[in-house]
Structure 1
Amino acid sequence: MILEITGLETEREHMLLRDIDWQVKSGENWCVFGPNASGKTALASVMSHYAGKVSGEIRLFGRPYSAGEWKELKKQVILLDPKLCMKILPSMKGTEVICAILEEKTTGSTYRSAVEKRRALDMLKQCSCEHLGDRLWRQMTPREKRMVLLASALTPERRLILMDDMCSDLDPFALKRFLNDLETLVSGQDMPAFILFVRSVNEVIPSVSHVLILKEGRIFSRGKKLDVLNSEILSKLFETSVLCDYNKGTFNVEFLI
């Protein structure tokens, strides 16, 4: 079992979740979807940071989220979020960005040893973007920045990658390229399990096996992706007529307003 959530509830700042019971089994790759303010980012945040005020239980690879366990657990799970891009120094090179993320320190000295740079370059190579190793952060496109973020997650210790709203601010062509790159990466051998948190059904890549739909902080539907992402369920979710088409691994949604 990768992830077990039982009776999860939280209400702090703008985060609101109620009665979340969810399991992610080995071999499954999930996508979390829902309208704005449905709780997607709140769930991603709770799963990636130990929070003592959260009620309910979260277990990762059989181990409970607790103050005693968190030091080791946080090495196995990472949250990738485009907001991280705003915290990175524009003058950093691609290899320096990866080293900084691994150290959980995106500001300060950019000095890196030859060994650190080599490791970072190898991680970029796994994403077929080693050419970004010497490129400055300010010179990268939004898609390239996301590929560097993905590369930073590919450490031997990592067993689960959470990706929240990674497609935001991408133009249609960049979005298509990023989704293709992401699919190629996650469908490879020896890759960690992943959970996508998306705002659009069109962002669900073929390697996603299951979908969890949230609405107003509660679970609205969950199951295998074709059982959940269909016209009937999406019409109920958005309370309007929705046409959902699935063709060759991709979804297309049309609102019949």
Structure 2
Amino acid sequence: MSGGGARDGDHAVSDGDGTRAVLLDARDVHVVRDGRPLLRDVSLTVRAGEHWALLGANGAGKTTLLSLLGARVHPTYGTVEVLGRRLGTVDLRELRSLVGHVDPRHPPRSALRVRDVVLTGLTNSVERLPRWAPTAEQEERADRLIGTLGLAGRREARWTTLSQGERGRVLIARALMPEPRLLLLDEPATGLDLPGREQFIEALDSLREEHPRLATVLVTHHLEELPPGTSHALLLREGCVSARGPAGQVLTGDQVGKCFDLPLVLDRHGGRWSVRVARRR
């Protein structure tokens, strides 16, 4: 990892030469489970302000890679550094608290109000902790995030009354409460209808504009789910990297077609991608 950077607490902020700080650095990573390779020789560097898409077919290794980047599992071989800390040398629980992780399967057990769900991001709990109360400043931050994600009118709504798309946006606000430098999203548009998907993508773009130094890594296998602000992409095929780099260079019909083993045509309009299978002659 590039060194010499200034630090803000445990978070890298900027390198001395003005370049963007490295937040994630995975080098030659292998993950083997029960003798079966899930990832092979995978490398990835994510810098502040970058917005990465991880794409590949089902079983390609996307969720396994995201688990590594989120300090949830160790690599079998290779090295992973998250916010300057190497996995295997730090307490994973502590490191996880510095990374925002959006899991669409988040399961509140009671009908919390939206604001309360967001505030649980500070305690990393499913429910409000007994005898814990947020400060006025923390409540104001929760309200700002709720507004940024287009849910100001739903602040007092109960979790059980929210649509799937609204829940996804609430979970982004929750993940951002501890002010992480890095946000990981695991197939966040799963189960959304068309309006819900578009509202979700719009919310991600608003987030990018209001938090220009935040880095995101979004896992999906649908190019239509990528926000216009996607800056980089990594394609996984059978646990190996088939392409990696700036989105405009990676997300092409040829590269994505090889990844999914289909003849594909990709188009981009207004910053959004669409894909179709090429007609066979």
TM-score scaled by structure 2? 0.81
Distance in 2 between the 1:210 and 1:232 partners? 17
1:97 has 2:117 as partner: yes
Distance 1:28 1:120, change over 3 A: closer
Q: Which residue of 2 aligns with 1:213?
A: 235
Is the CA contact 1:50–1:67 (under 8 Å) kept in the aligned structure 2? Answer: no
Distance in 2 between the 1:18 and 1:156 partners? 33
Q: Secondary structure at the residue paired with 2:176?
A: coil
Distance 1:175 1:12, change over 3 A: same
State the one-letter code of the partner of 1:197. V
Q: Secondary structure at the residue paired with 1:185?
A: helix
Q: Which residue of 2 aligns with 1:188?
A: 210
Distance in 2 between the 1:64 and 1:135 partners? 40
Q: Which residue of 1 aligns with 2:25?
A: 4
Distance in 2 between the 1:244 and 1:22 partners? 24
Equivalent residues in 2 for 1:228-247, closer than 5 Å: 228-247=250-269
Equivalent residue pairs, number:
255
Deviation at 1:185, TM superposition (A): 1.6
Q: Secondary structure at the residue paired with 1:95?
A: helix
Is the CA contact 1:205–1:250 (under 8 Å) kept in the aligned structure 2? Answer: yes
Identity of aligned residues (%): 26
Distance in 2 between the 1:113 and 1:188 partners? 27
Distance in 1 between the 2:41 and 2:205 partners? 32
State the one-letter code of the partner of 2:28. G
- Please, which of 242, 245, 249 is the counterpart of residue 271 of structure 2? 249
Alignment deviations for residues 189-240 of structure 1 (CA, whole Å, 9 cap, x no partner): 4451111111201112111111000011111111111111111112222222
Q: Which residue of 1 aligns with 2:153?
A: 131
State the one-letter code of the partner of 1:98. V
Q: Secondary structure at the residue paired with 1:237?
A: helix
- Which one is further off, 43-52 or 211-220? 43-52
Distance in 2 between the 1:110 and 1:146 partners? 26
Is the CA contact 1:187–1:207 (under 8 Å) kept in the aligned structure 2? Answer: no
Which is helix-richer, 1 or 2?
1
Is the CA contact 2:266–2:276 (under 8 Å) kept in the aligned structure 1? Answer: yes
Q: Which residue of 1 aligns with 2:177?
A: 155
Distance in 2 between the 1:89 and 1:111 partners? 18
Q: Secondary structure at the residue paired with 1:187?
A: helix
TM-score scaled by structure 1? 0.88
Unaligned runs of 5+ in 2: 1-21
RMSD (Å), alpha carbons:
2.4
Q: Which residue of 1 aligns with 2:5?
A: none
Q: Secondary structure at the residue paired with 1:221?
A: strand
